[in-house]
Amino acid sequence: MRRGMSIFNVTSLTLGFAFLYLPIVLLVVYSFNDSRLVTVWGGFSTRWYTALLSNQQLLDAAWVTLRVALVTATVATVLGTLAALALTRMGRFRGRTLFAGMVYAPLVMPEVITGLSLLLLFVAIGLERGFWTVTLAHITFTLCFVAVVVQSRLVSFDRSLEEAAMDLGATPLKTFLTVTLPIISPAVAAGFMLAFTLSLDDLVIANFTSGPGATTLPMRIYSQVRLGVTPEINAVCTLFIVAVTALVLAVSLVTKRETLAREAAARAM
Amino acid sequence: MRRLSARANDIGRSRLVVAGPYLWLLLFFLAPFLIVLKISVSHDVIAQPPYAPVLDPSKGWAGMREFVGGLDLQNYAYVFGDAIFHESVLQSLVIAAVSTLIILLIGYPIAYGMARAPRRLRPLLLIAVILPFWTSFLIRVYAWMGILAREGFLNQTLRALGLIDEPLELLSTNTAVYIGIVYSYLPFMVLPLYAVLEKTDESLLEAAADLGAPPWKSFWLVTFPLSLPGIVAGSLLCFIPAVGEFVIPDLLGGSETLMLGKTLWTEFSVNRSWTVSAAVAVLMLIVLVGPILVYQHMQARSFEGGR
């Protein structure tokens, strides 16, 4: 805008971001509180973090969550990228409307419905609930997020590059691997990250589809949170936030560098 | 010729490309809904699985007839006669609609401020909005438990400022549910709004100014109408999941808070009635099918417009 930023805009941004971040900051601050009473500041301490290391239940849950999220993100990235390719590169195929509907619906579907319906499916086909049922459920809803992220990249890129490669005799597979995939790779990486964090974060769907021996970290946190606010949970949550934030920032830096490099290359051509 | 054969090849490859995700979604997204539908017209029994009738394919036609004859609408009759269910539907819709409106009122100025910020700042602001969205939903709701509690941060601050004498009862009320939903879903509104506002052609605003329109008028006549697609998308992204929200009413709400997601969960895990919770799920879907179809339509169109 010509006049630069108005006072109104600066104020709304400041208040908006304060609202978004203040609760998280308070949670982190109170995780270093020496007092067991979360509301009274008893001095700085890291004892809740040391206590975590001996909480075997929590560590087990964290390990389960990490494995579920890794398998989920890997499979969902492959399936989601294929779904995005089908939606953008295949024109009108039979059953496209149904397919598009199934890809977009889970984005807004209330989690209780997804969770309950998958649980009933697993029971109906006699699949025992545990690690794999949670993972299957997570792949199903996260692949749709991957598809949307990759699709938005696919619609905005220059198809003449693909056509040129094909005209020069590259097979469709080779064209995909050497032209399409490098161009969409930041979006694929972002989709992987999104699937990973959505899986890490999910409570409701896991609550329905998990079984004994596959308690995830959010399920464990939830069962303790219901009993009230404690500094240990603040500490777990802080570690969780730090890990996810670091991951997101790292990926956004990497993809940004790639974008810059690509733009520089495009300009040089 | 090569081009032609490449096209033919393309079609062959395409079938393979779509087969994987298509089959996956048919099996894990569509089929489960049909099962929910079927179980919603079944009966609870103490057995494994805990509902009846179960189709026994080995009995052939007779088994099929027996199966269909065993289905009825008694779960729906029960749910429709249940005051708790009525209240849940009403509260879910009201809480989700009012929250969505509040989110719009808070989110619009934020998105607008971001879109008008200096160009080099915008990516940073965008990451700042996305970051809390990537951080755990559960953790963000939990953070509010500590703030809204009787001896929590908010009451302490208000008391220290001398604004109140007695602590406010906030946690375990519908007010806390509103705060939780507004807070958790805010990025879902800001992101689509920012996307449309950032694309607004500034020459239109300059034209309006040149023709003598005061800023509020050019906002109302130019910017606002152009941002309508973002408003609709953001509102649907907040409203639909909020109707089925479970974590927020469970952790921040009180006994008076009845929302569909929580009712479904209670039927399932406390009352252990899979068939009634399936019926609640079906009814929730019927309530939401309109908004979901609008959302899908917009999502598909936004991609087709981008080609």
The whole-angstrom distance between A61's CA and the closest CA on chain B is: 15
- pLDDT confidence of B8, banded at 50, 70, 90? very low
In whole angstroms, how far apart are CA B248 and each of B113, B139, B221, B285? Answer: 29, 11, 37, 20
Q: Is the residue at A194 inside a domain?
A: yes
The pLDDT tens digits of the residues spanning B143-155 come to 999 899 888 888 8
Q: Are A47 and A34 in contact (CB under 8 A)?
A: yes
Give chain A positions within 8 Å (CB) of B44: none
* In a domain? residue A30: no
Task: Please name each of the domains of chain B with its CATH number.
Answer: 82-305 (1.10.3720.10)
For range A231-242, the mean pLDDT: 88
Is the model's pLDDT at A214 over the cut of 80?
Answer: yes
Q: Please state which of the ranges B12-16, B84-88, B221-225 shows the lowest mean pLDDT.
A: B12-16
Residue B74: what pLDDT?
A: 85
ipTM score here? 0.84
Distance from CA of B153 to the nearest CA of A (A): 7
A37 lies in some domain:
no
CATH number for A216:
1.10.3720.10
Across the interface, of A86, A104, A123, the residue whose CB is closest to B299 is: A104
**Per the domain annotation, does A102 fall within a domain?**
yes
Which residues lie across from B44 on neighbouring strands? B51
C-alpha to C-alpha distance for A58 and A232, rounded to whole angstroms: 11
Is pLDDT of A212 > 80? yes
Question: Residue B249 in contact with residue B144, Cβ under 8 Å?
Answer: no
pLDDT tens for A33-83 read 887 776 677 788 888 888 888 888 888 999 999 999 999 999 999 999 999
Query: Cβ contact (<8 Å) for A155 and B307?
Result: yes
Determine whether B125 is exposed, middle or buried from the number of CB atoms within 10 Å of its CB (0-12, 13-18, 19+). Answer: buried
Q: Give pLDDT, residue B13.
A: 59
* Dihedral sign computed on CA atoms, order B170, B187, A206, B74: positive
- The confidence score (pLDDT) of residue B66 equals 75
pLDDT given for residue B131 in this prediction: 82
* CB-nearest partner of B128 from A17, A116, A167: A17
Q: Which residues of B touch A200 (CB under 8 A)?
A: 136
> What confidence score (pLDDT) does residue B12 get?
54
Least confident range of A52-61, B138-147, B180-189, B295-304: B295-304
- Residue A29 domain flag: no
Q: Identify which of A30, A100, A136 has the shortest CB distance to residue B300.
A: A100
Residues on chain B touching A225 (C-beta within 8 angstroms): 138, 142, 145, 251
Close Cβ partners of A207 (under 8 Å, ≥ 6 residues apart): A115, A219, A222
Three-class SS state of A248: helix
Decide if A247 is inside a domain.
no
Q: Give the chain A residue whose CA is nearest to the CA of B234.
A: A108
Percent of chain A scored above 70 by pLDDT?
Answer: 91
Residue A174 domain-assigned (yes or no): yes
Nearest-angstrom CA–CA distance, A199 and B167: 38
Percent of chain B with pLDDT over 70: 94
Q: Is the pLDDT of residue A111 over 80?
A: yes
| Chain A residues with beta carbon closer than 8 angstroms to that of B139 | 24, 27, 221, 237, 240-241
Between vectors from CA A243 to CA B136 and to CA A129, what angle results, nearest 5°? 55
Determine the pLDDT at residue A257. Answer: 62
DSSP string, B130-163: HHHHHS-HHHHHHHHHHHHSTTSHHHHHHHHTTS
Q: What is the pLDDT of residue B50?
A: 77
Report which of residues A226 and A238 the model is more confident about.
Answer: A238
Contacts of B300 in chain A (CB under 8 A): 100, 104
Of A118, A167, A252, the CB nearest to B32: A118
Q: Write out pLDDT tens, residues B200-224.
A: 877 888 888 888 888 788 888 888 8
> Mean pLDDT across the stretch B31-56?
83
Nearest-by-Cβ selection for A27 from B146, B190, B236: B146
Residues in A closer than 8 angstroms to B250, CB to CB, are 226
Q: Is the peptide bond before B53 cis (omega within 30 degrees of 0)?
A: yes
Q: With respect to residue A138, please indicate whether it lies within any of the assigned structural domains.
A: yes
Asked if the Cβ–Cβ distance from B146 to A120 is below 8 Å, we say no
CA B5 to chain centre: 45
Residue A135 sits in which domain range? 56-228
What pLDDT was estimated at residue A1?
Answer: 43
How many structural domains is chain A composed of?
1
Joined tokens for residue B29: 């997204």
**Mutate which: A117, A151, A203, vs B, most B CBs within 10 A:** A117
